[in-house]
Amino acid sequence: MKPNYNMKRMPNFSKKNVLGRLLKMLFSKYSRKIIVVLICLGITSISSVSGSFFLAYVIDDVINPALNGNGFNETVYLFSGLIPTPLTAGNALLIYLLIMLGIYLISLTSSLIFNQLMAIITQSFLNDVRQEMFRKMEKLPIKYFDRNLRGDIMSTYTNDVDALRQLVSQTLPQLLSTSITVVTVFTLMLFRSIWLALVVIIAVSIIFLVTKKIGGGSAKYFMKQQKSIARLEGFVEEMMNGQKVVKVFCHEEKSIEELKDINNQLFEDAFTANKYANILAPIIHNIGNILYVLVAVLGVTLSLNKVPNLTITGFEATLAIGSAISFLNLSRQFANSFNQVSQQINSVVMALAGANRIFSLIDEKPETDEGYVELVNVNISGDGKMIETDEHTGHWAWKHPHGTGEITYTELKGDIQLVDVDFGYTEDKLVLHDVSVYANPGQKIALVGSTGAGKTTITNLINRFYDLADGKVRYDGININKIKKDDLRRSIGIVLQDTSLFTGTVKDNIKYGRLDASDEDVYKAAKIANAYDFITRLPQGFDTMLTNDGANLSQGQRQLLSIARAAIADAPVLILDEATSSIDTRTEKLVQDGMDKLMEGRTVFVIAHRLSTIQNADCIMVLEHGRIIEKGNHESLIEKKGTYYQLYTGAFELE
């Protein structure tokens, strides 16, 4: 059966004002820099069209009169009042060129400032987005990661953030610059000729219709492309993690076929999206070329036939040649601006689709914590009174504030009770039915049963990774719903079947159990787990770097480090979820002594398929289909000759 790679995190794109939210985020923190950027953009955009504006004066005031033998048209020259007379045509031309040079130098300076500021704004903004996503991800409940592929989540940090970078660093500035250019150019057009401007308006209307039709199709498929990329990354990430399993079961060809289906879907979405995008730009470009020809023909016709020229300032005798040539350049810039906008549509759509997925992650409902009871260090006086302290004393207590203002302290002993618990990962299907477990301080409780019987679920409820459907869980007599989740989990050490080692030294990975631990604490924990000897034989001992989840260690060594991590946490309650399942028999014997030391004086929950490891448990509970069907110590359960007896004697196996 093919895995399901449907995107579950993608909300309805059309219902969210993603662009508005992005702009709000940008302006909320970088408003001053953005204002400077806008000013620089305005200067750069206006300067870019000033050349066409001054070209008319150069032609009409200097070049055309000189060609006609009329000399310099000093009455038309804009700056004649500022220049000492006599003024020759050559000097006037030089002055115009110097003015244009000055404008372009100002434009260059503004452009440099703009580019530097945009680099700062973009990278700072993306840094903020990544941190915000990670902060939010760390606050999400476990169930979020149960229902979302890790590759899909990673795609949000890579592809979606990169699409956002393209939008912030290039697309938005380009659109702003183009908007300023369009307004400026069109205004200058009205100063040159309203008749020619009407032709431009007709062309722009056609461009809008084409963009709406073709750009809409492009947007639709670019959104699908982003989703398909995430599906592909999710599949590849899953195959990489399970590569050994793939090879063991000769699943290579099947995996290739599955990838082919997902990759083909990405190809179809990307091909269709780019097909629309690649059609749009040439169409708009050619509309611009047609516009250029029409303006040239109409301009020459108006000029040769001495048709009165209407401008925003009123009627002129006729359209001057310089004005016509200037208008041609303006129309070219006008059409090019719309062409540039059409080329940015794809980036806008991809970025908004990516931003939508980013906001989907950020807007996920975080893990709620209504607890108010805290775990604190205490000193216990001779009369048994508990005094709160900031020092690590080895004595813990629950600090319980009451509505009356009174604060009471309850010693942390490790008394855990599950009373009439019902639970289901989904509302319509319970996996635990009326389960009651009583663990007195220092007791070792073993949970036995087939896969899916509910053993790990019980430990998940003790850690409050999930909330109950019904029933109660009490910790030292306190309902765990009243205990802050961080404090609850700090009081519980856990060793999982699947070890997780992080990039860093061996010492760092052991300290993960208690970050303020000293080196001596690390060595002591390693000795308890019987990991000290193999660690000292590593190339750099405790300073040996681990990468790729500790791939340079054996499975047994990785598990020993996980046990050492639990030992350094020094928690009064310990959960061992198949903690020795990945350790060979010889290594298990080495570990067992350390495990016994680790369990001394602690309340321990053990999940094990190797029944030989739980014979000394104070209470063994046999689960089946989410119900406890037997409970007692090893001897009493053997005497009953029930399910446990049959499991122990091999009459049937855990399945």
Whether 355 and 437 map to the same domain: the answer is: no
Given 354, 385, 411, the domain boundary residue is 411
Instruction: Look up the pTM and report it.
Output: 0.69
Are 371 and 180 within 8 A, CB to CB?
A: no
Count CB-CB contacts under 10 A for residue 545: 13
Cα angle at 211 between 205 and 215, to 5 degrees?
A: 165
User: What residues have CB less than 8 Å from 224, skipping those under 6 apart?
Assistant: 269, 273
Q: What does the pLDDT read at residue 282?
A: 78
Query: Which residues span the domain enclosing 440?
Result: 416-649
Q: Is the residue at 112 inside a domain? A: no
What CATH number has the domain bearing residue 600?
A: 3.40.50.300
Q: What does the pLDDT read at residue 654?
A: 46
Taking the C-alpha atoms of residue 28 and residue 489, their distance in angstroms, rounded to an integer, is: 36
Q: Is the residue at 12 inside a domain? A: no
Pair of tokens at residue 569: 């946490």
Given 293, 328, 362, the domain boundary residue is 362
Are 637 and 644 within 8 A, CB to CB?
A: yes
Model confidence pLDDT, tens digit, residues 471-496: 999 999 999 999 999 899 888 888 87
Q: Is the residue at 85 inside a domain? A: no
Whether 535 and 629 map to the same domain: the answer is: yes
Whether 435 and 516 map to the same domain: the answer is: yes
Whether 457 and 564 map to the same domain: the answer is: yes
Whether 379 and 353 map to the same domain: the answer is: no
Taking the C-alpha atoms of residue 401 and residue 493, their distance in angstroms, rounded to an integer, is: 25
Could you tell me whether strands 396-401 and 374-380 are parallel, antiparallel, or unpaired per DSSP bridges? antiparallel
Whether 489 and 353 map to the same domain: the answer is: no
Q: Is the residue at 149 inside a domain? A: yes
Q: Is the residue at 536 inside a domain? A: yes
Please name every residue paired with 388 in a beta bridge, in sequence order, or none if there are none. Answer: 378
Are 546 and 501 within 8 A, CB to CB?
A: yes
Q: Is the residue at 92 inside a domain? A: no
What CATH number has the domain bearing residue 307?
A: 1.20.1560.10
Q: What does the pLDDT read at residue 655?
A: 43
Whether 185 and 251 map to the same domain: the answer is: yes
Average pLDDT for the chain: 80
String of DSSP letters for 171-186: IHHHHHHHHHHHHHHH
Whether 190 and 319 map to the same domain: the answer is: yes
CA 483 to chain centre: 30
Whether 523 and 609 map to the same domain: the answer is: yes
Q: Look at the chain and report how many structural domains it folds into.
A: 3
Q: Is the residue at 64 inside a domain? A: no
Taking the C-alpha atoms of residue 111 and residue 426, their distance in angstroms, rounded to an integer, is: 57
Whether 192 and 236 map to the same domain: the answer is: yes
Whether 347 and 429 map to the same domain: the answer is: no
CA 442 to chain centre: 43
Which amino acid, residue 257? E
Q: Is the residue at 55 inside a domain? A: no
Q: What does the pLDDT read at residue 328?
A: 77
Model confidence pLDDT, tens digit, residues 594-647: 677 777 778 999 887 777 778 888 999 999 888 999 999 889 999 888 888 888
Whether 274 and 196 map to the same domain: the answer is: yes
Ranges of residues in the chain with a pLDDT under 50 are 1-15, 75-80, 82, 85, 653-655
